[in-house]
Chains A and B, each alone.
Chain A
Amino acid sequence: GQNIDQPTEMTATEGAIVQINCTYQTSGFNGLFWYQQHAGEAPTFLSYNVLDGLEEKGRFSSFLSRSKGYSYLLLKELQMKDSASYLCAVMRGDYKLSFGAGTTVTVRA
């Protein structure tokens, strides 16, 4: 089966940095996605990693280590609007996505 683990909740202060970890065990691997989802809305794409290393895109960065089955999403200079659920999703060998349960990030003033 597919197993994707990420923390349930994280809280941080406005302007701070938060790192959301994701570990996975899946049947095949064709890349890892991070999505942001606000309550009652569809997920929006944040990042895609298929090779090891760090991908930086503005305030958000994502890291992947395929040998360790590990990724993290780094959110810098947190803003109140970053309060949302962050979903780690692995594209399996059959090119279908398996999602983690999501990490709810709360940004406090």
Chain B
Amino acid sequence: GAVVSQHPSRVICKSGTSVKIECRSLDFQATTMFWYRQFPKKSLMLMATSNEGSKATYEQGVEKDKFLINHASLTLSTLTVTSAHPEDSSFYICSARGLSGSGVSEEQFFGPGTRLTVL
């Protein structure tokens, strides 16, 4: 199956700093990438959708100036948490939806996640 990687897998930072998380599709071109966050024992909450070459669309209640998303190529999307605070500590997961031989694939392939801890 398709492989999606995330880097870093874990990050600890001080309050007020910015953290960048990378999401890469390794063996397919991802027309669309999604960013989720997950709190302990809770489900995944979609934060934003990023399409290559265009601005990301954010879900209601997600601050676009705080969570900056860039999808510069068909294999890379980045999420930058700006001025991080302890309440931003969470598990961030990206997924990618790519092009199959018959057109757009509905399946999303998930990255391994990034555990962010803000002190």
Contacts and interface: CB of A to CB of B under 8 A. Distances in A.
B107 A96 contact: no
Given A96-B34, A96-B49, A97-B34, A43 B44 contact: yes
B34 A42 contact: no
Contacts, number: 49
Interface residues of B, number: 22
A interface residue count range (under 10 / 10 to 19 / 20 to 34 / 35 or more): 20 to 34
A44 B110 contact: yes
A33 B34 CA distance: 16
Interface in A68-94: 87, 89, 91
Contacts of A89: 44
A46 to B, nearest CB: 11
A12 interface: no
A99 B106 contact: no
Interface string B3-25: 00000000000000000000000
A97 B46 contact: yes
Nearest 7 A/B pairs, CB to CB: A42-B110, A99-B43, A101-B43, A99-B44, A42-B113, A42-B112, A102-B43
Interface of B: 1, 34, 41-46, 49, 91, 93, 95, 97, 106-113, 115
